[in-house]
Structure 1
Amino acid sequence: MSTSNQTLPPHFDPLHYAIELDCCDIQNNVFHGTVSINFRVNEPSNKVFLNLRDLKLLSSAIEEENGLLIEPDSIKYDEVTDVAILTFVEEIHEEFTLKVVYQGAVQTNMTGFYKSEYPSPQDGTTKAMYSTQFEATDARKAFPCVDEPARKATFDVQITASSELTVLSNMPLKTSLELDNGITTVHKFRTSPKMSTYLVAWALGEFEYIERLTDKCIYPCENGDSRDVQKLPVRVYAAKGKSQLGEFALEVATKVIDYYSGLFDIPYPLPKLDLLCVEAYSHNAMENFSLITFRPTALLLETSVDASNPLSLQKIAYVVSHEIAHQWFGNLVTMKWWDELWLNEGFATWIGYYAVNEMFPEWDVPSLVMCKSHEVALELDSLKESHPVRVTVKNAKDIDQLFDTISYLKGCSLLEMVSEFLGADKFIRGVAQYLKRNAFSNATMDDLLGSVGEVCEIDLVARLSNWILKTGYPLLVVEETHDNVIRLSQKSSSSGSDSCKWWIPLMTSKALTIGKSELWDSSMSFTEPNKLMHFNANGYGFYRVDYKSKALLFEICRNIDALSSRGKLALIHDVKATASTEVLLEVLTYFLEIQDPYDYYVWAAILATCSELLLVFGQLSHFYRETESFISLIVETQLEAALSFLKNPDSILASSSDKRRALKAQFYEQILLAAGKVSNERVVTQCELLNDKKCSSITRQIVLSVILSQPNTSPKTFDDVVDQLKTATLAKKESLLGILGKARNPILFGKIFGLIFQAEPMDVQFLAEAMGSNPDIRLDLWQFIKDNYTRICDRIGSNPTVLERFVRFSLSNMVGSSLKLEIEHFFADKDVTTFDRALRQTLEKIEKSTSYADANA
């Protein structure tokens, strides 16, 4: 085995897998399997290496052409590396087929081949569905394999199951044969193209579906003849009684398939696409080739499009677009190894948002990306405990921790920066060339940057290497010396960043006299007669700007109405990251003069910044009081309009003539929630009145949030909301847990902590995120975690992702040196191998917040 990344020896490469599963005993959490793997010989050897985990090998042998079976002389298994070594008496010199018979366990922790239980939408009885989640290294839980992305092969899948179950896989059904007088059915699927093991998928359940065809006839038919084309059939599968809730997702899917097919000049590569709603899911979705699996809230709408919360629509549109993008970028062309996961996830994130903006320009998607992606990545990447976009990976546990902000959001931000600098059309032409050159194969960063650079006639590798291979980003320091001379210099974002010179695309608010707006050196100076000099003007550059010249900074503030929405967001976050609290609050006051309800993301950022200040500073701090006063000022100027929206949200949401109505509704929702945070009497009173009335789901969510965030919320009110969890849909559960975690009355804290053990493990993150951002409960939460850590791990720890999120969300907003030391000591003797990086980042965030509070005391 390779010691650097635990890859298997390259002696034999799998060419084809024939997987046969017997799922007739699946209700007892057991399945039986046979896999025949056809291997090519690269170098003769008498040892065959396979990945497997939680599988019981019953027999194994090499099948010769004459039918003879050669059994291994010995089998050794390493539980640490998940590797079985089959040793044969003689070396193998020619292509061969290895047949393995085994028994597997149906998982219950949302990994591998696992079971989801759910109440039937039709009669409330408990039902079960079975599906797969193999990324990154869990295909080995379902069949012995060479579980590495570069070891692509073709796949035949055959599944025998109860005839009452619908069975799905990556490819269309080839044949079905009923057995035992129709009790069971054998489902054989068509042979797949070459793909990685983590993209293999199957599912069994009492499903129903809705179907729509794409508009364009550019897709190969099932017979594989590219000269014969058809409209692609797209289906949304869900538990019986729920498929109609996928209409919006289905509409988005058919549009985005056509959009990507044209954009990349490559037809959708397989003859069908299924989107499957999986009832128990720790992630939003998984891009299995042509059988994409989704968490219910990422695929299904519980109400009509017109009556839905805009955030629900945006989530579904984005997740569907992201996962379908993977069918080209990740599935058709796959990274060679997990150290370049960003090639999959960064691109799918960027192009997913790009497609949503094309379909829904009224949503102000560029600003959404700035808030949800760009700024989140910058914040994490300012930490010493961040990691490069391309990072060394040694084992499976390292791989699992790579599915983080850096791989997804920094990767997205770097692509967004380059696309803006080069021009999106040229950039995408380069991407299309990359996809065509590497179709059904594997590729690297250099392949992508080389193709784009070739099309755009630019050395992109030289420009982006440090951005991808180094931790952090540059801080662009702007100073004004004399006679309008502006000096730019760069330094690393954190003390932990490697020292290097970054290529910085300046992208200013006006054309500079210095030619191309790029900074390659440590510093440069130039003369500009106009003092309105806003660098990184639309926030597409992945760096911070530190205006040492207050004259330049406040000149921008005085002309703030000339900035784009993203430009305003960039200014807010740059000042928050580089200036004192006093300067930050002064800059924010300029925004009061230009309040625009359609500038939702700007005001969401301002109010989020205020909330962060309340978390950092204690209630006795003058900055705490100043921040509360500033929030009250924002609220007061919008109070009448916000109360009008609260009483009748349809006055805005039902206005079909206003294409941007969703932004306006979200703005007033933010104002009302901020009013609740500072206990605005009129808003609290109105929410109490509405709490006893029938109102829309959007109003209900605001009402409950405001009431529960008051210091004197009664236990009865709290219990009434908890009762709603019992019958709530998943989307409402996510919302309710977030609301309950914000309760501020100390007598309710014990009840809140009890919800950790009542909620489904996959939903605990919504409670943890709310508690972690609640300044009143944080210390009690930490004490509860210390006292109940073993119990918490027993409840949610079987899925590493769920436990990692709980720890990170619960503790990241703590403040205090002694508290950081206490947390560090507590986890010192705990097994944190599945979330050690997240824990180190959490500790550093506490240290950073503590330093900020001390510096601004």
Structure 2
Amino acid sequence: MFLSGYWLQVVLSWAVVAFATATVVVAVQKAKLEKDLQDVQNKIDIYEEWNGESTHRMKREDTVKYRLPTALVPTHYNLYWHPDLETGSFTGQLRITINVVEATNQIVLHSYLLDITNVYVLNREVDKFELEEERQFLIITLTEELPKDARITLGILFGGQMKDKLVGLYSSTYLNEAGDTRTISTTKFEPTYARQAFPCFDEPALKATFEITVVHPSGSYHAVSNMQQTESNYLGDFTEAIFETSVSMSTYLVCIIVSDFSSYSTTVRANGIGEDFSMQAYATSHQIEKVEFALEFGAAVTEYYIQYYKVPYPLTKLDMAAIPDFASGAMEHWGLVTYRETALLYDTSYSSTANKQSIAGTLAHEIAHQWFGNLVTMKWWNDLWLNEGFARFMQYKGVDAVHPDWGMIEQFQIVALQPVLVYDAKLSSHPIVQKVESPDEITALFDTISYEKGGSVIRMLEALVGSDKFEEAVTNYLVKHQFNNTVTDDFLTEVEAVVTDVEIKKLMLTWTEQMGYPVLNVSKEADGSFQVTQQRFLSNPASYDEAPSDSEYGYRWSVPITYITDDGTEGSLIYDYDVETVPIFVASTVQWIKLNVNQTGYYRVNYEESLWTLLIQQLISNPDSFEIADRAHLLNDAFALADASQLSYRIPLEMTAYLGQERDFVPWYVAATKLRSLHRSLMFSEGYVTYLNYARSLIAGVYEEVGWTVDADNHLKNRLRVSILTTACALGVPDCLEQAAQRFNAFLLNPTSRPSPDLREIVYYYGMQQSTSQSTWEQLFQLFVAETDASEKLKLMYGLTGVLNSQTLFNFLVLAGDENIVRSQDYFTCVQYIAANPVGESVVWEFFREQWLQLIARFGLNNRNLGRLISQITANFASSVKLEEVQQFFVKYPESGAGANSRLEAVETIKYNIEWLARNHADITDWLSGTASALTKKTQL
């Protein structure tokens, strides 16, 4: 079967439009580009010097002492804030009670972007105070030295701005049902933004209690904070809200909100571990009904955590709020968790099955932090993974406890583990425990290593020691260190205390102190045993020559190995990092072995070819002989190893023959993701049509089975349906494109009758892709602008980026810069959507090469989303020309802020893409031409 006429036209259109885009850009920027091209070789040389010196640059930055002096320890803040919603400014005053632990004549604390109008110390004389911008310090010099063990009270009057930012104390707006603009004020302090709202000792170990008063407009407005409100003073146009004194906590957990939001409430049952307490959910009044799912789930998962941790929740309330403008997905402020609207609000009219799961996962993550992160906090950001890795691990347990039919334990593989294995197989990765000092380095640490690798390694540790012992260790850790700060060793000490037969610390140091992970190579010996060796896994073979050897463990790991065999034998052992090989002895009748049961281990497994063949035969003859997680694992490892040229591509391609029998979401998600990836990689290569025919044949049976009718109460079937339909449309299956187009056109004729929320992104995107009418795009754009539901707005935005017209995509990119059209919080998502469209890729790249300074002015180099933007929009570049352009860009703009690692990742990824096709194209093409036709017949239903 050849390409359908339409799909061939699409492919040609992509090529023609991409060329047309490049032509337009060259015409507009001709003089500049000609000059750049003349200088390119010189600049590449400079870049390579920069790239090689990046580590030294980082070390030079470390010579600036960003940490506060240790002479003073705050114990209590009395904090008074007045956010002025009309002017967008705020004023405040505070008194900090401070213990002097070392004699000093200076008080040094953090303050950034604040106007300091007065500084005083009770019963002491202030000589002077000054702001140091680079370290974001407020340095107060006294006329006399403060003696050790003294207790002082520091007072400061200050003010600042709330507009045009999403961190610190900032303002947010929304339209109410009447169409009026309403303004609120809220906070986002993690990791280093509390200092933008009030002068403070803004380090996580410097915990203190907080007594907060907030002034808000009288009438419909109110204020909420971490603790319960105890008093209200009416002042006419304004009202003072006074809150009870908090427990001891880090500055980044402080939160206030001034709004006219409505709220619903429920009660969380402690069930004998502490006291019952209230949970309220806040949202704009016209959306308050959308918090019902979050309240129901939030209470249930909190009750599960109380029983799991066996530690009472230490506050008297746990509230949640949906903020119209929010930089992160959510933030775990103690007692008042804040969320993007899409992360909290659920409406069956707008929210898909994936939206529902995402909301539950986000709530479970943030509520897990109330103990692991808030009650016990890392001493310094080096150990951020103790917060984020554990919360990522726990969120899957939490959602599974409330919704066991969602298969969340298996979904950990595809959402957390497998994606970070891709990132961590690059030289631009970093260890879990990473030294950071500056605010840019700190904010950059909030990445997939701290979250996904951290969670994956904790999951591996739980599997090693057993869930009961692990739970016991967690309880002991929380009880021992509550209201204090810890380092990684403190947590591992508690785990090791409940395990008698494993040196937990020795094992875990190989995972936390060095980046990357191993691939275990398995061969069968003449005596019937299996021999296992290890080496570091790198996705690009060329990286092995460049890989550093600076780890004291030699980039070897102590690996907890689990295995199953064809005769049902199960076993486990530990492969110590300092041992060359380990044997696995089994019965002489055993034919095959499968390591890393359910992929709980953070490593890959490669088998000698004869063993791969036996595993494939078993998959084809009886897929159910492997658990869901093991089928997903075999697929993922086989393709990853082939991509890295450690395995013939014949192996994963032959493995796909079993997919005709696969009907579970998790394995199909792995397969479908790879089918789409190969489609993009092979699109303009010889053998593309053959690949397309084969890929379509693999998906044909399951496509017919899932259909276009959404199940009311089948979560995993709905997730499978979306994955299959998305892949079928991406592969150009004619019926899929026709179905999407029919539904899209029907929707435009009657916009009040929309497709099922599960189908909307598919219908909007592929319906838009097939339209050649500018008026159609304009109609969808107007619906997008008018939409008030945040979840639906993102779906419409995604649909708009499916158009195959470079000028339209460029126009949308320009429009997206208008805060009234695309909120700042959604801007980077919009850009990524456009760049993911092959037609939009070059449009986005050329646009941001020219607009980089404007982006820096708007978002700042400390913004980690901006820092990651270049690596995201260049992720599919696969030519030496594009590589040179990216390197040249980095030379032109050497200041990277929070994006230093992402720049290294971008270059590494492009080099990998260039080499991937050269290494694998012939292997794939030969297999497709030689054997795909026979396998195609077997897989068609």
TM superposition score normalised by structure 1? 0.92
Mapped to 2, the partners of 1:411 and 1:745 lie a distance apart of: 41
Mapped to 2, the partners of 1:513 and 1:302 lie a distance apart of: 47
Name the counterpart of 1:833: 897
Which stretch of structure 1 is more off in the superposition, 202-211 or 499-508? 499-508
Mapped to 2, the partners of 1:539 and 1:706 lie a distance apart of: 34
Give the letter aligned to residue 7 of structure 1. Answer: R
State the shift of 1:219 in Å: 6.7
Identity of aligned residues (%): 28
Residues 283, 630 of structure 1: alpha-carbon distance in 2 compared, 3 angstrom cutoff: farther
Mapped to 2, the partners of 1:179 and 1:786 lie a distance apart of: 52
Residues 775, 628 of structure 1: alpha-carbon distance in 2 compared, 3 angstrom cutoff: farther
Q: Secondary structure at the match of 1:73?
A: strand
Alignment gaps of 5+ in structure 1: 65-69, 221-228
Give the letter aligned to residue 810 of structure 1. Answer: I
State the shift of 1:829 in Å: 2.3
User: Which string of whole-angstrom CA distances, capped at 9 and with x for unpartnered residues, describes residues 28-53 of structure 1?
Assistant: 12111111011111011111001000
Q: Secondary structure at the match of 2:737?
A: helix
Name the counterpart of 1:224: none
Name the counterpart of 1:81: 135
State the shift of 1:519 in Å: 1.0
- Contact 1:46-1:87 at 8 Å conserved across structures: yes
Name the counterpart of 2:638: 575
Name the counterpart of 2:678: 613
Give the letter aligned to residue 523 of structure 1. Answer: T
Which stretch of structure 1 is more off in the superposition, 567-576 or 336-345? 567-576
Q: Secondary structure at the match of 1:50?
A: strand
Name the counterpart of 1:151: 206
2:216 aligned with 1:161: yes
- Contact 2:88-2:162 at 8 Å conserved across structures: yes
Which stretch of structure 1 is more off in the superposition, 490-499 or 236-245? 490-499
Name the counterpart of 1:123: 178
Q: Secondary structure at the match of 1:407?
A: helix
User: Which string of whole-angstrom CA distances, capped at 9 and with x for unpartnered residues, describes residues 443-465 of structure 1?
Assistant: 11111011011012232111110
Name the counterpart of 2:427: 384
Name the counterpart of 2:660: 593
User: Which string of whole-angstrom CA distances, capped at 9 and with x for unpartnered residues, describes residues 714-767 of structure 1?
Assistant: 323322222221122211122222233333344543344334324222112322
Matches within 5 A, 1:499-514: 499-510=554-565
Give the letter aligned to residue 757 of structure 2. Answer: S
Q: 2:906 aligns with which of 826, 829, 842?
A: 842
Residues 781, 4 of structure 1: alpha-carbon distance in 2 compared, 3 angstrom cutoff: closer
Matches within 5 A, 1:689-768: 689-693=742-746, 694=753, 695-710=755-770, 713-728=772-787, 729-746=789-806, 748-758=808-818, 759-768=822-831
Q: 2:731 aligns with which of 674, 678, 681?
A: 678
Matches within 5 A, 1:38-187: 38-64=97-123, 70-93=124-147, 94-120=150-176, 122-164=177-219, 165-180=221-236, 183-187=237-241
State the shift of 1:609 in Å: 0.8
User: Which string of whole-angstrom CA distances, capped at 9 and with x for unpartnered residues, describes residues 188-243 of structure 1?
Assistant: 110111100000111101011000001335476xxxxxxxx4x2100001122222
Q: 1:281 aligns with which of 323, 326, 347?
A: 326
User: Which string of whole-angstrom CA distances, capped at 9 and with x for unpartnered residues, describes residues 223-276 of structure 1?
Assistant: xxxxxx4x2100001122222211111111111111111111101111111101
Mapped to 2, the partners of 1:282 and 1:296 lie a distance apart of: 11
- Contact 2:273-2:310 at 8 Å conserved across structures: no
Name the counterpart of 2:254: 200
2:883 aligned with 1:820: yes
Which structure would you say has the larger RCO, counting Cα contacts within 8 Å and 6 or more residues apart? 2
Which stretch of structure 1 is more off in the superposition, 268-277 or 492-501? 492-501
Residues 514, 312 of structure 1: alpha-carbon distance in 2 compared, 3 angstrom cutoff: closer
Q: Secondary structure at the match of 2:563?
A: coil
- Contact 2:111-2:200 at 8 Å conserved across structures: yes
Q: Secondary structure at the match of 1:108?
A: coil
State the shift of 1:383 in Å: 0.8
Give the letter aligned to residue 150 of structure 1. Answer: A
Residues 75, 811 of structure 1: alpha-carbon distance in 2 compared, 3 angstrom cutoff: same
Name the counterpart of 2:602: 542
2:31 aligned with 1:31: no
State the shift of 1:366 in Å: 1.9
2:531 aligned with 1:467: no
State the shift of 1:629 in Å: 2.1
2:366 aligned with 1:353: no
Which stretch of structure 1 is more off in the superposition, 696-705 or 454-463? 696-705
Name the counterpart of 2:264: 210
State the shift of 1:541 in Å: 0.5
Residues 6, 271 of structure 1: alpha-carbon distance in 2 compared, 3 angstrom cutoff: same
Matches within 5 A, 1:285-684: 285-303=330-348, 308-457=351-500, 458-494=502-538, 495=544, 496=547, 498=551, 499-510=554-565, 516-520=572-576, 521-528=579-586, 529=588, 530-547=590-607, 549-560=608-619, 561=623, 562-579=625-642, 582-596=649-663, 599-622=664-687, 624-642=688-706, 645-646=707-708, 648-649=709-710, 653-654=711-712, 656=713, 661-684=714-737
Residues 791, 91 of structure 1: alpha-carbon distance in 2 compared, 3 angstrom cutoff: closer
Mapped to 2, the partners of 1:677 and 1:855 lie a distance apart of: 25
Q: Secondary structure at the match of 1:168?
A: strand
Mapped to 2, the partners of 1:542 and 1:375 lie a distance apart of: 9
- Contact 1:708-1:742 at 8 Å conserved across structures: yes
2:293 aligned with 1:248: yes
Mapped to 2, the partners of 1:357 and 1:807 lie a distance apart of: 36
Q: Secondary structure at the match of 1:85?
A: strand
User: Which string of whole-angstrom CA distances, capped at 9 and with x for unpartnered residues, describes residues 345-395 of structure 1?
Assistant: 000110111111111111111222111100111111111010100001121
- Contact 2:740-2:766 at 8 Å conserved across structures: yes
State the shift of 1:793 in Å: 4.3
Name the counterpart of 1:67: none
Which stretch of structure 1 is more off in the superposition, 836-845 or 48-57? 836-845
State the shift of 1:796 in Å: 4.9
Mapped to 2, the partners of 1:168 and 1:737 lie a distance apart of: 33
- Contact 2:810-2:844 at 8 Å conserved across structures: no
Mapped to 2, the partners of 1:604 and 1:2 lie a distance apart of: 43
State the shift of 1:854 in Å: 1.5
- Contact 1:110-1:799 at 8 Å conserved across structures: no
Mapped to 1, the partners of 2:859 and 2:582 lie a distance apart of: 53
Q: Secondary structure at the match of 1:489?
A: strand
State the shift of 1:397 in Å: 0.8
Q: Secondary structure at the match of 1:377?
A: helix
Q: Which is richer in helix?
A: 2
Residues 515, 674 of structure 1: alpha-carbon distance in 2 compared, 3 angstrom cutoff: closer
User: Which string of whole-angstrom CA distances, capped at 9 and with x for unpartnered residues, describes residues 457-477 of structure 1?
Assistant: 232111110100001011111
Q: How many residues are treated as equivalent by the alignment?
A: 821
Alignment gaps of 5+ in structure 2: 1-60, 539-543, 747-752, 922-941
Name the counterpart of 1:258: 303
User: Which string of whole-angstrom CA distances, capped at 9 and with x for unpartnered residues, describes residues 663-695 of structure 1?
Assistant: 112222222222222322222223222223333
State the shift of 1:604 in Å: 1.7
Give the letter aligned to residue 852 of structure 1. Answer: W
Which stretch of structure 1 is more off in the superposition, 434-443 or 665-674? 665-674
Mapped to 2, the partners of 1:17 and 1:246 lie a distance apart of: 33
Residues 590, 509 of structure 1: alpha-carbon distance in 2 compared, 3 angstrom cutoff: farther
Give the letter aligned to residue 271 of structure 1. Answer: T
- Contact 2:260-2:284 at 8 Å conserved across structures: yes
Give the letter aligned to residue 679 of structure 1. Answer: G
Aligned-residue CA RMSD in angstroms?
2.2
